[in-house]
Structure 1
Amino acid sequence: MTINQTPQVVTIAGSDSGGGAGIQADLKTFQARDVFGMSIVVALTAQNTLGVQSSLPIPCDFVAEQFDSLAADFHIRACKTGMLADKEHVQVVVQKLKEVDFGPLIVDPVMIAKGGHSLLKREAVDCIKKELLPLATVLTPNIPEAEVLVQQDIKTSEDMIQAAYDLQQMGVKNVVIKGGHSSDILAKDFVLLENGETFWMSSKRIETIKTHGTGDTFSSCIAAEIAKGKSVKEAIQIAKSFIQGAIEQEIFVGHGHGPTNHWAIPAQDILID
């Protein structure tokens, strides 16, 4: 009897009741990329496209029990983290990741929701830097998140490059600094790989507010591709094409920062240099 041959991936994050980000976006991405997705819920949110109205962390012991339950039955080949709420939840996630084998870890350091609501308490940042980042195979911060982690302003391409090296010094193997918040004409992401290779991924900038869940979707796609056996470099480049297509091929949901399109066709015009 064949058991656990289908690629399996887990998201360790917060639930988005509006469906556009968080665990819901992760699971949609896993499905779109042909892997079986699971979830470890760290927090609940009352959330829609207009913002986060409330959030409720899950008890830490129950978070740990979710880890144990999945580890007892499944062969998880990659995992990713998203919203981790506070220091206590970061610590329990770190502890359990050291105990179980969930494959390569992709860390999306979620800090602020699109509407401005804080999703990570300030005291948790140091814990992420010291305890979670050294476990990460890939780190995918946007510019504001990278600024918090390196404690420096990032205004130029040179700043993005320096931030990536600084983050790698914290123990991360591979770093993607996403450039969606920059003022460049193109949306340019800088990639620093474990072997020292670097490159930029550029795509046309889309004028839209339908970008809710872009970070979750991008990092989830990386996890899915790694679980299928792609190299880290290949997975990152596929994720760039996937998220670009998800932004370009709009869907119309809600009154605010609408979600991306998880059934979109990946874009084919990404420039790698």
Structure 2
Amino acid sequence: MTDPWLLPTAAPGQTPVRVMTIAGSDSGGGAGIQADLRTFALLGLHGTVALTAATVQNSLGVTGFHEIPPEVVAAQVRSVVSDIGVSAAKTGMLASAPIITAVTEVCTELGIGGNGAIPLVVDPVCASMHGDRLLALEALDTLRERLFPIATVVTPNLDEVRLLTGVEVTDPASQRDAARALYDLGPKWVLVKGGHLRSSAQSPDLLFDGSEFGEFTHERIDTGHDHGAGDTLAAATVCALAHGYPVPDAITFAKRWVTCGLQAAYPLGAGHGPVNPLWRVAGP
């Protein structure tokens, strides 16, 4: 594993490693493709986008969103991969069953996820941090049955775990039960994020590959400004995977990256401010 703070970067004039986010836009700039692109750029990668939805939101919550037609979502992915290429990709807000189906089909076609050469991180965004729904309930089955089986790693938070599996995570034992239930849906790796487990003084994330568990803990950061934490973690994971890191090392890298972002988080508007990957501009 390389320096835990830096990924290899291209020399001026050379083409950097390319990655893709297939996700929704956050008009407040704290999460979604905005958070992904910030992380990609600050880690020295070229970020590409397949937009799935335009949300209407600020620091107080989401008041609406407009879905991009599924065929347009798939066309964005196909256009980028056929010309620019990508070394890893992630999904975020997918909004509906037809979009999930379109994304699954085009990723399979292009060798993203599954048995293809391009790793796919699935961040199963179901609701905003304020509880605003970002995925139709009827789309949960499509997410489980179509997209999860081609995922390299899925990264749900505890609210998403409950929606996807029915398991209420309250302690390490139930977190392991949740990881097993998610693994049974078909991904190669499962990361059950523990940031919402408020009974713990740590932020315990649990990685599972079907046989072994790996635990990743950092001291919980006392901040009310954590908008975009899940997006940032998944984006940093994608960056590390694109550079060839094994999944456990990629998660280690991403966990440290988002922890530093939480330590540097700032207030914004009247609600929750964002995780701040801009801490990297001033150096570690």
TM-score, scaled relative to structure 2: 0.89
Counterpart of 1:222 in structure 2: which amino acid? T
Conservation of the 8 A alpha-carbon contact between 1:4 and 1:75: no
Distance in 2, matches of 1:75 and 1:89, equals 21
Q: Aligned pairs, how many? A: 263
Counterpart of 2:127 in structure 1: which amino acid? I
Equivalent residue for 2:136, pick from 121, 129, 151 = 121
Counterpart for residue 160 of structure 2: 145
Consecutive unaligned residues of structure 1, counting only runs of 5 or more, are 267-273
Shift of 1:4: 8.7
Equivalent residue for 2:92, pick from 51, 69, 82 = 82
Distance in 2, matches of 1:119 and 1:219, equals 17
5 Å-filtered alignment, 1:207-222, equals 207-222=222-237
Distance in 1, matches of 2:34 and 2:108, equals 25
1:134 matches 2:144 = no
Counterpart of 2:94 in structure 1: which amino acid? L
Query: Tell me, what secondary structure is at the counterpart of 1:257?
Result: coil
Distance in 1, matches of 2:212 and 2:18, equals 28
Distance in 1, matches of 2:265 and 2:143, equals 34
Shift of 1:116: 1.6
5 Å-filtered alignment, 1:155-234, equals 155-182=170-197, 183-193=199-209, 196-234=211-249
Shift of 1:86: 0.8
1:17 matches 2:27 = yes
Query: Tell me, what secondary structure is at the counterpart of 1:76?
Result: coil
Shift of 1:265: 4.6
Counterpart for residue 55 of structure 1: 65
Query: Tell me, what secondary structure is at the counterpart of 2:179?
Result: helix
* Higher strand residue share: 1
5 Å-filtered alignment, 1:90-129, equals 90-102=100-112, 103-129=118-144
Q: Relative to structure 1, is the Cα distance of residues 206 and 4 closer, same or farther in structure 2, using a 3 angstrom cutoff? A: same
Conservation of the 8 A alpha-carbon contact between 1:114 and 1:257: no
Indicate the larger mover: 76-85 or 184-193. 184-193
CA RMSD of aligned residues (A): 1.6
Distance in 2, matches of 1:64 and 1:235, equals 27
Shift of 1:250: 2.4
Shift of 1:6: 2.3
Percent identity of equivalent pairs? 38
TM-score, scaled relative to structure 1: 0.93
Conservation of the 8 A alpha-carbon contact between 1:109 and 1:145: yes
Conservation of the 8 A alpha-carbon contact between 2:16 and 2:44: no
Cα deviations by residue, 1:189-216 (Å, 9 ceiling, x for unpaired) = 111136x332211111122210100000
Consecutive unaligned residues of structure 2, counting only runs of 5 or more, are 1-12, 113-117
Conservation of the 8 A alpha-carbon contact between 1:110 and 1:145: yes
Cα deviations by residue, 1:60-118 (Å, 9 ceiling, x for unpaired) = 12112212211221120100000000111111111111111341100000011112210
Conservation of the 8 A alpha-carbon contact between 2:153 and 2:191: yes
Counterpart of 1:241 in structure 2: which amino acid? R
Distance in 2, matches of 1:203 and 1:243, equals 10
Counterpart of 2:214 in structure 1: which amino acid? F
Indicate the larger mover: 197-206 or 119-128. 197-206
Query: Tell me, what secondary structure is at the counterpart of 1:112?
Result: coil
1:27 matches 2:27 = no
Counterpart for residue 267 of structure 2: 252
Conservation of the 8 A alpha-carbon contact between 1:9 and 1:76: yes
